[in-house]
Structure 1
Amino acid sequence: MFWIWSDVQRLHHFLRLISVFPSEMERITCMSLLLTAVVSSSAGAPRQYHFVNQTLNWTEAQRYCREHHTDLVTISDIQEQNDIEQSIKSSSDPVWIGLKSTDTWIWSLGDPAFYTEHESQFRNWGSKQPNGDGDCVYMDCVNYLKGQCYYRLYIIDIMWICSSLSLLRVVPNL
């Protein structure tokens, strides 16, 4: 038996549950160790990329990624961008990534535990971008654009890339 958290919100729910049973010190100790491990090991966690050769709008693509993987892909630096480009080199079409605008540009997997400050700020905007034409971001990997980011309205259907984070597994010793 093991536990995997791909969403830190689930961890917070579990912590609230544990607080209801304060006499169970073993579990509280286990959770404090888990919390420390999640924070220390999740920034820069290894990611797998999953190119989906179907078309959906950004919101539907995000839902698919969250149901089948972790989330839409996030890009933390130029090396990761190059890795993503390699994973979709068979496609010349743009793909949704997990960058969106609310009032500022944020990654859809927005929990700060998954990024260093520098990683959460990585953007490789294309020429004259962002320009006010949308609220969700796609990456275009055609040779002359080399993975630059552009944004569009979320309602347009294009392909997308999911990522799966390799997170901490806790095996209880019962």
Structure 2
Amino acid sequence: MFLFLCLIFTMTQFCCSEHAVSSGIPGKENVLQRYVFVSQSKSWSDAQTFCRQKHTDLVSVRNPDEKQLIQALVPQSTLVFIGLFKDFFRWSDNSRSSFRRWSVGEPDGSGACVVQNLSEINTWADQNCAETRPFICQDESKQLIKTSQ
């Protein structure tokens, strides 16, 4: 039994990494973000399904701070799927953000899904959605941050 539990713990540590960040103003409802790196390779649509079943969705990178958090989470030189896809490039969770960080020459029309490329100063490229890659999920939950007066 002990060996079984150790194996599950080891597999969990190998499979996923988690990072949580909270943003907000005291006394207001805020959103707690948790990012989960999944090292198992899947197509973009399978990754989206996985994230929606186990978390909230594929990650939406809305600003440079979120981009930096994700960069710290993923092993260097790794291409990972993010939630941006071509329908005039929109986020899979329907969030609104004009933040983009394309690599030079991208998007080049090679695919309808987007990967974050950590070997090129953390930039993005479009890619065929059927290719398999590791990916990043996000969890969102609302919380109320109280302050003592």
Interval of TM-score (by shorter of Structure 1 and Structure 2): 0.7 to 0.9
String of CA shifts for 1:88-118, please: whole Å, max 9, x gaps: 1x3522000000012x11000104xxx5xxx
1:71 corresponds to which of 57, 64, 71: 57
Confirm whether residue 110 of structure 1 aligns to residue 94 of structure 2: yes
Q: Distance in 2 between matches of 1:91 and 1:141?
A: 6
Over 3 Å counting, the alpha-carbon distance change for 1:46 and 1:130 in structure 2 is same
Return the structure number with greater strand share: 2
Q: How well do the aligned residues superpose, as a CA RMSD in angstroms?
A: 1.7
2:124 corresponds to which of 140, 149, 155: 149
SS of residue in 1 equivalent to 2:36 = strand
Q: Distance in 2 between matches of 1:91 and 1:63?
A: 25
SS of residue in 2 equivalent to 1:124 = coil
Q: TM-score, normalising length from structure 2?
A: 0.73
Which residue is equivalent to 1:133? 110
SS of residue in 1 equivalent to 2:45 = helix
String of CA shifts for 1:20-74, please: whole Å, max 9, x gaps: xxxxxxxxxxxxxxxxxxxx956xx331110001000000000000000000001
**Shift, 1:167, TM fit:** 2.4
Over 3 Å counting, the alpha-carbon distance change for 1:125 and 1:73 in structure 2 is same
Which residue is equivalent to 1:94? 79
Return the structure number with greater helix share: 1
Gap regions ≥5 residues in structure 1: 1-39, 170-174
Percent of matched pairs sharing the same residue: 30
Confirm whether residue 121 of structure 1 aligns to residue 107 of structure 2: no
Q: Distance in 2 between matches of 1:63 and 1:161?
A: 12
Q: Distance in 1 between matches of 2:105 and 2:76?
A: 24
Instruction: Name the larger-Rg structure.
Output: 1
Q: Distance in 1 between matches of 2:41 and 2:59?
A: 16
